[in-house]
Amino acid sequence: MSIKTLTAILLSIALTGAAGAQERRLPGQSELRLSYAPVVHHAAPAVVNVYAAKLVQNRNPLLDDPIFRRFFGAPGGGGNQLQRSLGSGVIIDAAGLVVTNNHVIEGADEVKVSLADKREFEATVVLKDPRTDLAVLRIKDGHEQFPVLEFADSDALQVGDVVLAIGNPFGVGQTVTHGIVSALARTQVGISDYRFFIQTDAAINPGNSGGALVDLTGKLIGINTAIFSRSGGSQGVGFAIPANMVRVVVTSAKTGGNAVVRPWLGAKLQAVTSEIADSMGLKRPTGALVSNVAANSPAANAGLKAGDLILSVDGQDVDDPNAFDYRFGTKPVGGSARLGILRGGREQTATVSLRSAPATPREEIVIRSRSPFSGVKIANLSPALADELQLQNVDQGVAIVDVDTGSYASNLGFQRGDVIEEVNGERISKTGDLERLAGTPNRSWRIIILRGGQKISAVFSG
């Protein structure tokens, strides 16, 4: 039975059931034989298991101090521990490109991919995109045409559509579960920067991360990424990254980029509260309110002003800033987008050019010297990096782009997105400034950082 035939039969039965909901009868033999097997047979070979391993050094920064070691008789180093993570992935190119969740392979020294037929291959990381929690891998030494899943248009999904989730939950092996689309455009789920998820009740468990969510045509509609659970297991509330967002990341990987290129608006947006909606004469809170516009940005060139309310992007409704980020972020760079806005009670349109944010050399550095910054990766700020880190009203200086898990800096509370403004009274303008100061022995450290628009002062002894 073909996939299209199965879909038609299921739809026919659903419509018949709706018309005669009170009718009870013994199902016929042909109905008993209905199965999702044709869909699974088509999709499952393109879903893989992803194994990642990372060597972590158990090390106390105090052991770097020879006086501490001599006084306490402590050894000079610590043991190493191998940490492993397990997830799933989807082959999206016959040459061996695999998409998975970034959190599955983050920090891994070794990544392996296991196909549905049990063959294993080493894989290299082609691109990581923490903003969407997606990563693209390439299968090494794969001299064949691998099975792939085609992308569906995730914007065409409707609540109630039947979906299948395929992955490797708890490491038991490839598993298929089914359910429906429970909700669309979930924007209040704080999993990644782009909060716009498909919600499903198909059983998703640890190990399903990076696996496929497919429709009844066998096409990829999303990458399973998270669950809401009080027990650690599936409770019928799972979330998937829409295929249209996945497509953007995959396209960047195919073009050889090491980062995803997205259009830049250059404006700060805020959610519309009930009070704001009443003051603007709206029937309900909706849209993304412009609160600030950067000079010489696409938003400024399009004539956007503080107080404008963005209601749509190319005719697609925008309910809140997260929905705008998704709609705008999935547009290809080049060309333009038409924004529907409300200004002074009148609906208007504004045409915004789709161009990336200006970038300068990041000059990334990982601080390893004995200091409160041990374990942070820093980079020079630019409008592009500020947009990536979701920073507002700051595009110069030095920002933390990553913090090693278990490092001294991590234990002290430093976070990705922190902007280092000052150390021991000296202004930090570029990464070299912080590297030099971090390498200077000090008994105490006076540090000023900018986090979430607020300045934080801290003093560390060391």
3-state secondary structure of 438: helix
Choose among 384, 447, 390: nearest CA to 416: 390
What CA–CA distance (Å, rounded) separates 360 from 385?
9
The pLDDT value recorded for residue 322 is: 85
What are the structural domain ranges in the chain?
3-35, 46-139, 154-254, 267-321+332-353, 365-461
pLDDT at site 27: 67
Active centre residues (catalytic): 103, 133, 209
Please name the residues in contact with 132: beta carbons below 8 A apart, sequence gap of 6 or more.
Answer: 102, 192, 193, 194, 241, 245, 246, 249, 260
**Cα–Cα separations (whole angstroms), residue 178 to 13, 116, 144, 170, 201:** 17, 19, 31, 17, 8
Mean pLDDT by runs of 10 across the 462 residues of the chain is 55 49 64 81 94 67 48 49 76 94 86 90 91 91 88 90 88 86 69 69 83 93 75 68 91 83 88 91 91 89 94 92 88 92 92 88 88 91 81 81 87 90 90 89 87 85 68
Read off the tokens for 408.
Answer: 């001294």
Q: What is the DSSP string of 122-156?
A: EEEEEEEETTTTEEEEEETT--S-----PBP-GGG
Give the model's pLDDT for residue 184.
81
Over its C-alpha atoms, the chain yields an Rg (Å, rounded) of: 25
CATH architecture designation of domain 154-254: Beta Barrel (2.40)
Give the architecture-level CATH label for domain 365-461.
Answer: Roll (2.30)
pLDDT for the residue 69: 46
Model confidence, pTM: 0.74
The third-level CATH classification (topology) of the domain covering 267-321+332-353 is Pdz3 Domain (2.30.42)
Q: What is the pLDDT of residue 189?
A: 53
DSSP per-residue codes, 75-88? -S---EEEEEEEEE
User: Which distant-in-sequence residues (6+ apart) come within 8 Å of 279 by Cβ?
Assistant: none
Q: What is the pLDDT of residue 71?
A: 44
Do the bridges between strand 376-380 and strand 454-461 make them parallel or antiparallel, or are there none, so unpaired?
unpaired
DSSP states of 298-310: HHHHTT--TT-EE
In order of 1, 106, 223, 227, 458, the CA distances from 241 in angstroms are 30, 18, 5, 12, 38
Distance from the first to the final alpha carbon of the chain = 71
Task: Give the integer Cα–Cα distance in Å for 79 and 103.
Answer: 25
* Predicted pLDDT at 350: 94
Instruction: Indicate the fold that domain 46-139 takes in CATH.
Output: Thrombin, subunit H (2.40.10)
Using DSSP, state whether 106 is helix, strand or coil: coil
Q: Would the CATH topology of 46-139 be identical to that of 154-254?
A: yes
Residue 68: per-residue pLDDT: 44
DSSP 314: T
> What confidence score (pLDDT) does residue 74 get?
47
In angstroms, rounded to a whole number, what is the distance separating the alpha carbons of residues 111 and 126? 12
